[in-house]
């Protein structure tokens, strides 16, 4: 069972893990008392912390992509106003959206390269 180290102990009644947990350090076993909305324990849904992080990161990529898309749409509407202020704001929005897309693209390919080099399935 995975044990996460927390200092100080959780105020919600977390208890220290037994001293002989095999890790050589004290900690709080989060999987024993964290419960999801549907009543399932976190340890039943996510077998490892890595599987939970993969889900979170995958969803962050989707959310960031939607944010870039909405930013591009907003820049287009501002550009259509044909006012000097609107065009400057549109340029700023387009620049920010482009930088955000470049950052997402780079992060995705770094993960893909790490996946290829290590042979582990990291995302998706």
pLDDT, tens digit (0-9, with 9 covering 90-100), for 58-92: 888 899 989 999 999 988 888 888 788 888 888 99
**What is the domain partition of the chain in residue ranges?**
1-45, 46-118
Do 31 and 77 contact (CB within 8 A), yes or no? no
**How much is the average pLDDT of 9-18?**
45
Q: Take residue 69 and report the two structure tokens written for it.
A: 């898309």
The predicted structure's pLDDT at residue 4: 42
Report the half-sphere exposure of 64 (CA within 13 A, side-chain side): 18
pLDDT band at 95 (very low <50, low <70, confident <90, very high): very high
pLDDT band at 42 (very low <50, low <70, confident <90, very high): confident
Q: What 3-state DSSP class applies to 2?
A: coil
Q: Take residue 19 and report the two structure tokens written for it.
A: 């001293």
**How much is the average pLDDT of 32-57?**
78
Residue 72 exposed, middle or buried by CB count within 10 Å (0-12, 13-18, 19+):
middle
**Residue 72 belongs to what H/E stretch?**
helix 49-80
Using a pLDDT cut of 70, give the percent of the chain over it: 70
Check whether 12 has a pLDDT greater than 50.
Answer: no
Q: 4 has which bridge partners?
A: 28
pTM (whole model) above 0.75: no
Q: Take residue 39 and report the two structure tokens written for it.
A: 């009543």
Check whether 8 has a pLDDT greater than 60.
Answer: no
**How much is the average pLDDT of 26-33?**
65
List the Cα angle 51/53/58 in 5-degree steps: 100
Q: Name the residue with higher pLDDT: 7 or 60.
A: 60
């Amino acid at each position: 069972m995975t044990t996460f180290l927390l200092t100080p102990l959780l105020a919600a009644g977390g208890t220290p893990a037994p001293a002989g947990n095999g890790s050589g350090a004290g900690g709080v076993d989060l999987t024993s008392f964290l419960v999801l909305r549907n009543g399932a324990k976190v340890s039943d849904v996510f077998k490892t912390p890595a599987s939970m992080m993969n889900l979170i990161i995958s969803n962050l990529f989707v959310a960031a992509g939607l944010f870039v898309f909405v930013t591009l749409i907003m820049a287009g509407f501002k550009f259509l106003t044909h006012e000097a202020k609107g065009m400057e704001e549109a340029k700023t929005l387009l620049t920010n959206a482009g930088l955000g897309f470049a950052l997402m693209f780079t992060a995705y390919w770094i993960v893909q390269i790490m996946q290829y080099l290590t042979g582990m399935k990291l995302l998706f």
